[in-house]
Amino acid sequence: MAEKINLKGLSLKNIEEIFENWNIERFRAKQVMNWIYKKGIEDFNQMTDLSKELRNFLKANACTAKIEILDKRISKNRDTVKFLFRLEDNNVIEAVLMKHLYGNSVCVSTQVGCKMGCKFCASTIGGFIRNLHSWEILDQVFQIRNSLKDVHIANIVIMGSGEPLDNYNEVLKFIRLANSPDIFNISFRRISLSTCGLVPEIRKLALEQLPITLSVSLHAPNDELRNRLMLINKRYPIDSLIKACKYYFEMTGRRITFEYALIKGINDSFENGRELCDLLKGLQCHVNLIPINMVEERGFVKPSAKRIYEFKRIIESNGIQTTIRKEKGSDIGGACGQLRNKFLDKKEGYKDLWRT
């Protein structure tokens, strides 16, 4: 028996071509997509403007695969909801809904685990298992939207577990699908992608000329310190990373956001701040300071509020726009990967290669 075709994660054109091969009128593809993405209906039986014969045919030959919500945690002030999902192969991932005045954002994962090995990140604990397919990334947004009927999703941030540019093709496919008017119709300018600094892929992304926001996880102003915090820096040192960022701006006209996780006694000195200003001088950019999320296995802690604001003033005094990321969801495991790790510590029967 032929494997059923998963209609999730396919463009309207893709589905039209499939339907044409099945001798189904092309306009039926639009009807099916409207049921899935506009009405949140995944069951062919409920697609009542399709004939019973067509619904039975689709049930026999197609599917709308889905990821399953295993757990949902809501922060005390109700501005953050963290979701734990089970994939079809029993791996687990997480995604987060964050409520903002400027619009609600969903932070999605792109890999099960991560191979980058950043010293302060919970996602890398236990290593890398596999890349996510574009439909699995897309379905994180879909399932969150369906479970919270009154929430409009305006922004997507690709900053969850995994390195997006290490899963380049599937992530780019996801971005284009999320932007499609037939799916979520989210503007490219409301999509942010975060990378630890894969230089060749940054240059490749620049050539796509998509007006998304590129966020670079910098976290240190010099190679010596960044080598300690981020293994990727040994492959792509800061100089090559900054050159790639300048190239990205030249090709897209989109300024870079540099993420800088402030860690007490590690990268929060005034000298670190001045070095950071020298490094970013003349670059069209924005610095986002992130008081480090507490990860028990790592032992890093955030600086005092006084030190954080002093560090911010140093950067701003050099003409670089700087913000401090508002802490969200710290009471429900704010750091990427924390909810997943706690779940896997307690549950058996879930496929997690580094625990077996």
Binding residues for S-adenosyl-L-methionine: 162-163, 194, 217-219, 293
Give 3-state DSSP helix, strand, coil % of the chain, rounded to 5: 40, 20, 40
Distance CA 258, CA 245 (A): 10
Candidates 94, 170, 201, 259; catalytic one: 94
Binding residues: 114, 118, 121, 162-163, 194, 217-219, 293
Distance CA 62, CA 15 (A): 11
What's the burial of 112, exposed, middle or buried (CB within 10 Å: 0-12/13-18/19+)?
Answer: buried
Q: At what angle do helices 199-208 and 238-252 cross, to 10 degrees?
A: 0
Distance CA 150, CA 335 (A): 26
Binding residues for [4Fe-4S] cluster: 114, 118, 121
Q: DSSP state, 190?
A: G
**φ/ψ bin of 113: left (φ > 0), alpha (ψ from -120 to 50), beta (otherwise):** left
Distance CA 118, CA 156 (A): 23
Distance CA 196, CA 231 (A): 10
Distance CA 352, CA 356 (A): 7
Distances (CA, A) of 223 to 57, 201, 285: 59, 20, 20
Known catalytic residue at 63: no
Known catalytic residue at 94: yes
Candidates 196, 277, 285, 336; catalytic one: 336
Q: Under a CB-based contact definition with an 8 Å cutoff, are residues 180 and 12 in contact?
A: yes
Q: What burial letters (b/e) apply to 9-27, b meaning 16+ CB within 10 Å?
A: bbbbeebbebbeeeebeee
Which residue from 341, 7, 10, 290 is spatially nearest to 174, judged by alpha carbons? Answer: 10
Distance CA 260, CA 219 (A): 4
Catalytic residues: 94, 336
